[in-house]
Structure 1
Amino acid sequence: MLTDYVLQMPRAVYGGEHALENITGIMQGVKKAAVFTDQGIIGAGLLEYPLSLIKETGVETVVLGDLPAEPTCDQTQEVINRFRESGADFIVAVGGGSVMDTAKLASVLSTENFCVRDLLDNPSLGEKGIKTLMIPTTAGTGSEATPNSIVAVPEKELKVGIVNAAMIADYVILDSRMIKMLPRKIAAATGVDALAHAIECFTSKKSNPFSDTFALEALDMIMNNIEDACDKPEAMDAKKAMLTASFYAGVAITASGTTAVHALSYPLGGKYHIPHGVANAMMLVPVMKFNEPACREKFALAYDRIVKTDKTAETPEEKSAWIINRLDEIVKHLEIPSSLKDYGIGSNDLEFLVTAGMGVQRLLVNNMREVTPDDARNLYLEIM
């Protein structure tokens, strides 16, 4: 656990049943807003209401809506170039992690001094030039809370995280109306992504009182609501809990950091284009089983918080086993793919995965138990 730590958060976070209506006040003084989104959001009709609220204020808008899912650094740069040409003085992101990550990068690359590829080598080059409003449409990535942006780097066949405190949003709106009709498949994958954020940050070497506060609350809310939120379209209380928990888990990332689950999942997305949440779901239980000897006390604390009634586990070993078993139950219940074979990945790919995964030392150094190349190899073999 860290002995020196810091908590960085957005300037203002609006939640509740009518959170979107705060757009009117946020837009005061804005002349032109660039709205980052994607075709899935537009096609689902989710952009209509936020955009109408912006336009009601008299603010001019330009919609940048052709961002692909999980974009490369160069695709992200193309959108940022169009943003620069728009002359907008404010950024609104309506979407999932890729949309918000791109919008955050645009906010620190509003001039032509640097590009996305420059930040791959030196993230600190980015400087906040434009204020941002994040409106998440999934309950999972937590991007609305973090200083992180994830982009794929084609030549490395890997996803890379760009981290710069200047990318933390100025405003966030958490309105459960934006996730009410989220397809179960997407709700499941993004929800498990948030689950991974929470438990990884809680068991990270960088954990601290700030991160533990948010990570443990997120873990409690997610593990007790994720199944209903995904299974039942009208379970709005569960969906509200997931949206809040996703944000909390994102805050935990800013104060702590994810570990081997995310590190080993990055090559699965970078080369094989497995959705980020699915890749994390695949790695979650194997890594937590591997980490159990080093994280037993933390798992026991999580059990004490999460289990409200019928507390059958008594020893730290029993409590820890319960947590890992519950994680496994959730992933199976949500029917998330669990084998790399589903994506045509086999033994011939193993050494690439080991090399690429071990290259994500930014996150592996956070893991409570050291991960060697042999360990990584065995973890990948578990899901082949």
Structure 2
Amino acid sequence: MQNEYQLTVPRAVYSGENSIEKLSEIINLGSIKNVVVFTDAGVLENGICNKIFELIEKSGAIYEVISDIRPEPGTADVTQAVNRINTAKCELVVAVGGGSVMDIAKLCAAMKGASYTIHDLLENSSIMKKGIPTVMIPTTCGTGSESTYNSIVAVEEKQLKVGIVNTSMLADYVILDSGMIAKLPKAIIASTGVDALCHAVECFTSNKANPFSDLFALEAAKLIFNNIIEAYKNPDNREAKSNMLRAAFMGGVAIASSGTTAVHALSYPLGGKYHIPHGISNAILLAPVMRYNLLDCKERLAIIADAVNPQGVNRTAEEKAKEIIQRIEEIVKETNIPTNLSSFNVSKEDLNFLVDAAFDVKRLLNNNMKELNKEDIKNIYLEIL
């Protein structure tokens, strides 16, 4: 556990039923007249943005929409979006969507009018400066992008995802309204929900874990373990969905204070080369990596087990740790997430690339309580092929 640590959170977070109404207040307080809304085609077509547009108009501002955001965006997508926002009249960026939308919106807000490019930031993210204000409105319950100052970008030439980290990307405002995920498909509840579970479990078992990250990671884990199946099986349960939305935010806060570990490190090349959705690759990896880490983080996993099930105190730490890993596996199966990579055309011939690419993600591997060498990484991949 770190001796020095910090808590960096968005300036204001609004949560609860109809909290989306706060958007008009935000626009009026800032005397904003021009807004750019980032979203994706699915969110736009489902009418989820209609309330956003209504609130912007109600405040007297005008808006422009950027909706051609691809899942898992790459450097070319960022450059295209930056070019568009540079030609727009824009005093405020509002992101309505999942992790990809929020990640690219945060980047574009910080890059509007800047001399640096996305490739410059990949080389040295410290050059980034604070851009125009942002409002993050998540429409999934998992990525936690609304509460982090990270942005994940696919680097096509390297067939790898890279995290750009700079506090300049921290959202000014976050709105957590369960109405925004009322129509969320079950498959997205599952994959983003387990992604949030990864954030909570990884941050709690990270070498950078600290009292601040523990506070948010443990509460997020408890909420997800106790609500994800209900949110998945009963889409009309607004309480379960609201709990998942808050848990995702808390997982993001934990990332900003602590950091993810080997699960995300091994996940990056799966998304970068094979375009496996981030939440799914994390879900496939979470139990195998935690099982590999077991002896080094059993005490921390046991604390999670006690938070989720306070009745089971008369067990050893190792028994509790194994039970929480088993529960992770059960959640993945109950939510019909794939448990291996065979359906994504990943084979043993890909092992060398995967191992080398994951081994290069030192920023995250260094957070892992158990040091992983290339042979360890290879064995984990073999388990999920």
TM-score scaled by length of structure 2 = 0.98
1:325 aligns to what? Answer: 326
Moved more, 350-359 or 106-115: 106-115
Aligned pairs (5 A) from 1:183-222: 183-222=185-224
Task: Note the residue ranges of structure 2 that are not aligned, 5 or more in a row.
Answer: none
Give the SS at the match of 2:162: strand
Matched, 1:307 2:312: no
Please identify runs of 4+ aligned residues in structure 1 that moved more than 4 A. none
1:238 aligns to what? Answer: 240
Cα distance in 1 for residues equivalent to 2:236 and 2:375: 46
Structure 1 contact 94–135 (Cα < 8 Å) conserved = yes
1:108 aligns to what? Answer: 110
Structure 1 contact 134–172 (Cα < 8 Å) conserved = yes
Cα distance in 2 for residues equivalent to 1:314 and 1:369: 23
RMSD over aligned Cα, in angstroms?
0.9
Task: Note the residue ranges of structure 1 that are not aligned, 5 or more in a row.
Answer: none
Question: Once the 2 structures are TM-superposed, how far is the Cα of residue 112 of structure 1 from its aligned partner?
Answer: 3.7
Structure 1 contact 216–302 (Cα < 8 Å) conserved = yes
Cα distance in 1 for residues equivalent to 2:343 and 2:320: 32
Give the SS at the match of 1:111: coil
Give the SS at the match of 2:52: helix
Matched, 1:64 2:74: no
Cα distance in 2 for residues equivalent to 1:315 and 1:227: 27
Aligned pairs (5 A) from 1:84-163: 84-163=86-165
Give the SS at the match of 2:189: helix
TM-score scaled by length of structure 1 = 0.99
Structure 1 contact 12–171 (Cα < 8 Å) conserved = yes
Residue 289 of structure 1 aligns with an amino acid whose one-letter code is: R
Matched, 1:280 2:297: no
Give a deviation string over 1:144-174, Cα, whole Å, max 9, x none. Answer: 0000000100010000000001100000000
Structure 2 contact 131–168 (Cα < 8 Å) conserved = no
Give a deviation string over 1:253-289, Cα, whole Å, max 9, x none. Answer: 0000000000000000000000000000111010000
Aligned residues: 383
Of residues 56, 70, 88, the one that matches 1:54 is: 56
Cα distance in 2 for residues equivalent to 1:23 and 1:87: 19
Give a deviation string over 1:303-352, Cα, whole Å, max 9, x none. Answer: 1111144x275111111111111111111111101111111111110110
Moved more, 121-130 or 192-201: 121-130
Structure 1 contact 313–322 (Cα < 8 Å) conserved = no
Cα distance in 1 for residues equivalent to 2:208 and 2:252: 15
1:31 aligns to what? Answer: 33
Give the SS at the match of 1:27: helix
Cα distance in 2 for residues equivalent to 1:354 and 1:67: 30
Moved more, 113-122 or 300-309: 300-309
Give the SS at the match of 1:271: helix
Aligned residues with identical type, % of pairs? 52
Residue 327 of structure 1 aligns with an amino acid whose one-letter code is: I
Give a deviation string over 1:169-228, Cα, whole Å, max 9, x none. Answer: 000000000111111111100000000000000000000000000000000000000011
